């Protein structure tokens, strides 16, 4: 049976019949008569038709007849499909009955017994030699693989031990650094203790003007002399050393370096200088952070001046600054510490 045509609505039947008439009417009026205009006019006329209008009644009755036709054809189609399904089901049932009547399928038939195997074939001497050679080769390859595995494991263990050793060394270094941090204030305390001893008649040695060293260093210097005075000075230094529990040798400046020429450093700037000196003496990095305008540039320059005056290190030093402050740093270095010779190192990557 052919495909069933769907039912057509009353409006579509009206549109199909009146399309040519409406198009001719629009053209007669001098209006555009393209497809969109014709469809709009048809829709407008259909909406204007009343429920009892002859045209509407006509096309609705035609649509009802077409709908009845569609329902009849659909029912016949459904009946035909149902008959076909019943026929297929009956055919399957008959095939199933025939297969049961034929008996056991081939898959269930007994399989023929396998032929009995005869005695194993005797290998010749040459075949035995080749087989033994292959076996020896396999054993050799296996031994080489095991040896490579053992070497790799030994290397892995060695690397792990080395990593653990490095980690332990770093830990010990950090622990030593923590011990150093505990003695950052020793320099100033040593100065105060030395002044107190001096007031009582004790001897206090200074390495340079404004520089105070630890009791251990003073004791060694006092021991260079002779006589009762030297012995008393050495004993006093030994007592100080015991009181301060063998504090590490530090440097504490009571005045600014002589090569700082432009002005006098304030007390808090001098404290910042001593703090950075202690960091340098103990091999520790640090960050000098303070409010703007309190002289961080001067304190940084004074560290270089200290290195120049007390340590004899005139450079080279490298100062990394933003481009906007480059000229200011050059001017400050020339003004505060004329003993140092600043050199501007600036340019593009290609120029280097």
C-alpha distances in Å from residue 23, one per residue of 9, 45, 172, 202: 21, 13, 102, 129
Task: Give the model confidence (pLDDT) of 99-115 as tens digits.
Answer: 666 655 555 555 666 66
- Of 231, 172, 169, 236, which Cα lies nearest the Cα of 201? 236
Instruction: Say how far apart CA 193 and CA 34 lie, in whole Å.
Output: 113
Task: Give the model confidence (pLDDT) of 245-296 as tens digits.
Answer: 544 566 788 888 888 888 888 888 888 888 888 888 877 778 888 778 888 8
At 316, list the tokens.
Answer: 């080279």
The alpha carbons of the chain give a radius of gyration, in whole angstroms, of 55
**pTM beyond cutoff 0.85:** no
Task: Give the model confidence (pLDDT) of 85-96 as tens digits.
Answer: 998 888 888 877
Task: Give the model confidence (pLDDT) of 132-188 as tens digits.
Answer: 999 999 999 999 999 999 999 999 999 999 988 887 776 666 566 555 555 544 444
Q: Are 213 and 207 in contact (CB under 8 A)?
A: yes
- Of 293, 294, 289, which Cα lies nearest the Cα of 268? 294
- pLDDT (0 to 100) of residue 30: 84
At 273, list the tokens.
Answer: 């200088």
Give the bridge partners for 211, in sequence order.
208, 253
Helices 267-281 and 186-199: crossing angle in degrees, nearest 10, is 110
Task: Give the model confidence (pLDDT) of 224-251 as tens digits.
Answer: 555 555 566 666 666 666 555 544 566 7
Residue 338 has pLDDT above 70, yes or no: yes
Q: Are 42 and 17 in contact (CB under 8 A)?
A: no
């Amino acid at each position: 049976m052919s495909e069933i045509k769907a039912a057509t609505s009353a409006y579509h039947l009206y549109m199909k019949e009146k399309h040519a008439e409406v198009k001719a009417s629009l053209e007669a009026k001098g209006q555009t008569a393209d497809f969109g205009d014709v469809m709009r006019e048809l829709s407008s006329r259909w909406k204007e038709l009343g429920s009892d209008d002859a045209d509407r009644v006509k096309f609705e009755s035609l649509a009802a007849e077409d709908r009845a036709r569609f329902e009849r054809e659909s029912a016949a189609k459904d009946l035909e499909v149902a008959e076909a399904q019943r026929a297929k089901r009956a055919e399957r049932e008959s095939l199933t009955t025939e297969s049961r009547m034929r008996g056991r399928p081939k898959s269930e038939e007994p399989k023929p017994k396998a032929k009995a195997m005869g005695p194993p074939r005797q290998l010749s001497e040459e075949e035995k030699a080749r087989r033994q050679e292959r076996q020896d080769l396999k054993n050799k390859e296996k031994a080489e693989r095991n040896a490579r595995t053992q070497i790799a494991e030994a290397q892995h263990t060695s690397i792990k031990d080395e990593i653990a050793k490095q980690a332990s060394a770093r830990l010990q270094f950090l622990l030593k650094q923590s011990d150093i941090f505990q003695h950052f204030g020793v320099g100033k305390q040593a100065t105060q203790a030395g002044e107190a001893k001096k007031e009582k008649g004790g001897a206090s040695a200074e390495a340079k003007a404004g520089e105070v060293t630890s009791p251990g260093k003073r004791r060694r210097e006092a021991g260079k002399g002779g006589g009762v005075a030297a012995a008393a000075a050495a004993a006093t230094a030994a007592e100080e050393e015991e009181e301060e529990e063998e504090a590490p040798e530090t440097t504490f400046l009571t005045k600014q370096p002589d090569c700082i020429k432009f002005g006098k450093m304030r007390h808090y700037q001098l404290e910042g200088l001593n703090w950075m000196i202690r960091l340098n003496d103990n091999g520790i990095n640090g960050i000098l952070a303070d409010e703007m305008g309190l002289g961080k540039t001067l304190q940084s320059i004074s560290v270089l001046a200290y290195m120049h005056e007390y340590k004899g290190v005139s450079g080279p030093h490298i100062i990394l600054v933003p481009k906007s402050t480059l000229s200011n740093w050059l001017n400050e270095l020339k003004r505060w510490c004329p003993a140092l010779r600043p050199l501007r190192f600036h340019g593009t990557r290609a120029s280097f």
